[in-house]
Structure 1
Amino acid sequence: MAEGEINSADVLEEEETEDSGDSDLQVELSVFRAQWMSELKPVSGSGGTNRGLSRAADLKRKQEIVREEKARELFLKAVEEEQNGAVYEAIKYYRRAMQLVPDIEFKINYTRSPDPDGVDVNYMEESERDSEIADLLTYFQQQLSLQDSSLKICQPEAETTQMHISALPLEVLMYIFHWVVSSDLDLRALEQLSLVCRGFYICARDPEIWRSACLRVWGRSCTKLVPFNSWREMFLERPRVRFDGVYISKTTYIRQGEESLDGFYRAWHQVEYYRYLRFFPDGQMMMLTTPEDPLITVPRLRSRNVRMESVLFGHYRLSQDTDNQTKVFAVVSKRKEEKVPEYQKNRYYRRSPVQDSDHSFHVGLQLSSGGRQQFNKLMWIHHSCHITYRSTGETVVTAFDIDKTYTPLFFARVKSYTAFSEKPL
């Protein structure tokens, strides 16, 4: 009995202790609520009301300032971790900062650490974000001009015993950049090269490179920059055909077959074929119509010396009408056979019949953009066949109806087309 009474007394004591702790907590909460309500409760009279509202506004402003300071601290910590290579830690700090202030990245002025003279260099001002590319180029140029004149356009990241590319003169580097662009106008590779360092970024923005590319595409019609601000902007914004891939269209239709012998059955066939157009910067082009799949056909069109009898070769030109619509006009035909030497003309040589007429095809297309890519769509305008008889010199023109079988051609980039180059820009 004594032990039972002691145990029950201990339990009662513990319950009283918990009740007292809960009551103390409730008292503290009630005091906090009362104090909070007294601060927010408007005072009698217009002056008291204004003071209460201003006090609440000041309190809210202070909370926002504290929250923004904490978010800025976390964001700068994330930037530091990212520069040190700790990507996962940086993502954690980025997430915490954006949870506090979602647009914290736009409220920070990125500054470099003070130099020995105690002068801070501002990386990018908040008011200059509208022209980021131009300002970035100007910033890099200023940074290189402020450095010692003995320094090269780029420096090795770590000490090395081998010769570094920065030892080359600027003229040789620019010649290398012209090779990167090459005669195929691979400006995509030039943009990737500009990501290496600040010096390469400046070299890739050299106006002479972009001016040469514009002259290759449009010729004398682009002697003036108006209405563009730079040659690079003209090349990127002005409508043109693309050279780093091929334009493809797929056509499918149902054709009625022959009737069976009993007259109760007639076959239907699904016809499917592709059209391919490949353009070159020098004004030449290739055109092919075939039922073969693009996986088989596209690699064959990489070179101009393709050995396919059905491929048509020709020239094209760009034209812009009064409605600012860019059109492509082309004339293609089969490549003429070369004359066979006399020593090859033996009895085993297969002689092709002599043709008494020449066939050529005239094509008109309208250039447009669809989706996220620019200049990736060609719409058919007209298609005609011109037959010229050699004996009389007469030309017969047959125009084809632009119907459902003339589906638009869409651009597909092919990496192998710009993998090798024969000569620089």
Structure 2
Amino acid sequence: MADENADIEGTVEDEDESSDDPDLQLELNVFRAQWMSELKPSSGASGTSNRLLQAKSLRKAQEIAREEKATELFLRAVQEEQNGAVYEAIKFYRMAMQLVPDIEFKINYSRPPDADRGGGNYMEDSDVDGEIEDLLAYFEQQLSVEGSFPKICTPEVEMTQVHISALPREILMYIFRWVVSSDLDMRALEQLSLVCRGFYICARDPEIWRLACLRVWGRKCTKLVPFTSWREMFLQRPRVRFDGVYISKTSYIRQGEESLDGFYRAWHHVEYYRYLRFFPDGHVIMLTTPEEPLSVVPRLRTRNTRMDSVLLGHFRLSQETGNQTKVFAVVCKKKDEKATDFQRNRFCRRNPAPEAEHSFHVGLALSSGGHQSFSKLVWIHHSCHITYKLTGETVITTFDLDRMYTPFFFARVKSYTAFSEQPL
């Protein structure tokens, strides 16, 4: 009887508790239903598909969290490297790459991270290039506010000699044209613009960039469309580069002669290089030699090279409707002036004039390779033209472009633009 009363009292207490908290009872019923559904064997593909979707969403969330952590560590490493803490930077680089091996290529540098994350200072200046025109207008406005006769720049310390800011702007622009020089060293112009805001304004002068475009494309760049400025045209329109040399390396294995006893046959590993050096005035140098670039590149700085096997000629750019830029060049062996003077002597018959002239026609497709723009040239045509002087007949031999015609890749040479011979 006492047990029954206890049960009745417990039941009454449960009912009172459930009636006092109906939300708790509802949650309890939902939990029981979910628990029973999980205990039952899955009927059909619906249960399996739901579990797969849950696992996939969980895996995706983990990957996103891992990538965000790796991005934070990588930007922190960049900031430490800029501050000079190389060992700390290596530690954060290693931690980031352990999480995501290719995190370097997944970071969006155009989007600044949150201010509380590491690497925030590194990304604050990433939008400067995107607002280049606004920055130029801001500098010009600052100079105009300073006075009716503003100076391009002001000396940081007091000087007894005449400062460069005392020169008229026309003289400064002439100096800037010497910096660019006839070799179109626009890289030096960009470095000069980092000195001060006045030099930045002078380096963005449209006349300098217009002259550079005219030097490259000639009469084909009379209009800016579709570009907004001459500088944008020079930086984005496909062109060959003049501050270095294009190099192509070819290697193959050639079978040698058999030994006298017939016991073995030698095999030779052959390597040779092709060099292409373009000049802003339309000239080009082509050289095929087994010598390494370290010994050949310094001798290609000017057209007046003393190498006998070099080919000299002209080139032109051709941009077709498919936005594919091609380079066509005609090169031939340079004429020996001493031999020509020697042949003018009527009493000398030892060196008769050559009966034929050889010239080589080269066609290349311009493209961008790696991180550099306009740094790759792919073969599309190569032929030899033999012109007989007696009859005027020309015989054309076209070569097959096989695996021996490897593409050219650009290599910048600092010594090519180290000296200025004449202004732009």
* TM-score, normalised via structure 2 length: 0.69
In structure 2, the CA distance between the partners of 1:346 and 1:299, relative to structure 1 (3 Å rule), is: farther
Over the aligned positions, Cα root-mean-square deviation in angstroms equals: 3.1
Verify: 1:403 aligned to 2:397, yes or no.
no
In structure 2, the CA distance between the partners of 1:397 and 1:235, relative to structure 1 (3 Å rule), is: same
Gaps of 5+ in 2: 1-20, 24-82, 93-112
In structure 2, the CA distance between the partners of 1:159 and 1:280, relative to structure 1 (3 Å rule), is: same
Instruction: Check whether the contact 2:358–2:385 (CA below 8 A) recurs between aligned residues.
Output: yes
In structure 2, the CA distance between the partners of 1:131 and 1:99, relative to structure 1 (3 Å rule), is: closer
Q: Secondary structure at the match of 2:337?
A: coil
Name 2:164's counterpart in structure 1: 165
In the TM superposition, what is the alpha-carbon distance from 1:303 to its structure 2 partner? 1.2
In the TM superposition, what is the alpha-carbon distance from 1:420 to its structure 2 partner? 1.4
In the TM superposition, what is the alpha-carbon distance from 1:215 to its structure 2 partner? 0.7
Distance 1:301 1:131 in 2: 37
Verify: 1:259 aligned to 2:258, yes or no.
yes
In the TM superposition, what is the alpha-carbon distance from 1:345 to its structure 2 partner? 7.2
For residues 147-181 of structure 1, the C-alpha deviation after alignment (integer angstroms, 9 at most, x for no partner) is: 02244110000001111001101100000011111
In structure 2, the CA distance between the partners of 1:270 and 1:284, relative to structure 1 (3 Å rule), is: same
Q: How many residues align?
A: 319
Letter in 2 for 1:175: Y
Distance 2:393 2:252 in 1: 35
Instruction: Check whether the contact 2:343–2:349 (CA below 8 A) recurs between aligned residues.
Output: no
Distance 2:403 2:358 in 1: 24
Letter in 2 for 1:404: R
In the TM superposition, what is the alpha-carbon distance from 1:107 to its structure 2 partner? 11
Distance 1:345 1:152 in 2: 65
For residues 350-395 of structure 1, the C-alpha deviation after alignment (integer angstroms, 9 at most, x for no partner) is: 9655321100000000000011100000000011101111111111
Verify: 1:384 aligned to 2:383, yes or no.
yes
Name 2:311's counterpart in structure 1: 312
Distance 1:205 1:263 in 2: 72
In the TM superposition, what is the alpha-carbon distance from 1:134 to its structure 2 partner? 1.3
Name 2:237's counterpart in structure 1: 238
For residues 296-354 of structure 1, the C-alpha deviation after alignment (integer angstroms, 9 at most, x for no partner) is: 0000001110011100000000001121100000100011222555799799x996553
Verify: 1:279 aligned to 2:278, yes or no.
yes
Q: Which moved more, 1:264-273 or 1:291-300?
A: 264-273
Instruction: Check whether the contact 2:247–2:275 (CA below 8 A) recurs between aligned residues.
Output: yes
Instruction: Check whether the contact 2:326–2:363 (CA below 8 A) recurs between aligned residues.
Output: yes
Name 2:200's counterpart in structure 1: 201
In structure 2, the CA distance between the partners of 1:332 and 1:401, relative to structure 1 (3 Å rule), is: same
Distance 1:103 1:261 in 2: 70
Distance 2:406 2:343 in 1: 48
In structure 2, the CA distance between the partners of 1:368 and 1:107, relative to structure 1 (3 Å rule), is: closer
In the TM superposition, what is the alpha-carbon distance from 1:259 to its structure 2 partner? 1.5
Distance 2:122 2:188 in 1: 31
Distance 2:139 2:239 in 1: 31
Name 2:184's counterpart in structure 1: 185
Name 2:334's counterpart in structure 1: 335
Letter in 1 for 2:293: P
In structure 2, the CA distance between the partners of 1:411 and 1:155, relative to structure 1 (3 Å rule), is: same
Verify: 1:131 aligned to 2:130, yes or no.
yes
Residue pairs, 1:73-222, within 5 angstroms: 100-102=116-118, 131-222=130-221
Name 2:322's counterpart in structure 1: 323
Distance 2:343 2:355 in 1: 25
Verify: 1:373 aligned to 2:384, yes or no.
no
Letter in 2 for 1:356: E
Name 1:226's counterpart in structure 2: 225
In structure 2, the CA distance between the partners of 1:351 and 1:372, relative to structure 1 (3 Å rule), is: farther
In structure 2, the CA distance between the partners of 1:45 and 1:102, relative to structure 1 (3 Å rule), is: farther
In structure 2, the CA distance between the partners of 1:172 and 1:262, relative to structure 1 (3 Å rule), is: same
Gaps of 5+ in 1: 1-43, 47-85, 109-123
Distance 1:344 1:366 in 2: 43
Letter in 1 for 2:288: T
In structure 2, the CA distance between the partners of 1:193 and 1:355, relative to structure 1 (3 Å rule), is: same
Name 1:357's counterpart in structure 2: 356
In the TM superposition, what is the alpha-carbon distance from 1:273 to its structure 2 partner? 0.3
* TM-score, normalised via structure 1 length: 0.69
Q: Secondary structure at the match of 2:284?
A: strand
In the TM superposition, what is the alpha-carbon distance from 1:145 to its structure 2 partner? 0.8
For residues 191-232 of structure 1, the C-alpha deviation after alignment (integer angstroms, 9 at most, x for no partner) is: 011011000000000000000100111111111111111000
Distance 2:22 2:316 in 1: 82
Verify: 1:300 aligned to 2:299, yes or no.
yes
Distance 1:298 1:346 in 2: 41
Instruction: Check whether the contact 2:343–2:351 (CA below 8 A) recurs between aligned residues.
Output: no
Structure 1 segments (4+ residues) deviating >3 Å = 97-108, 128-131, 339-347, 349-354
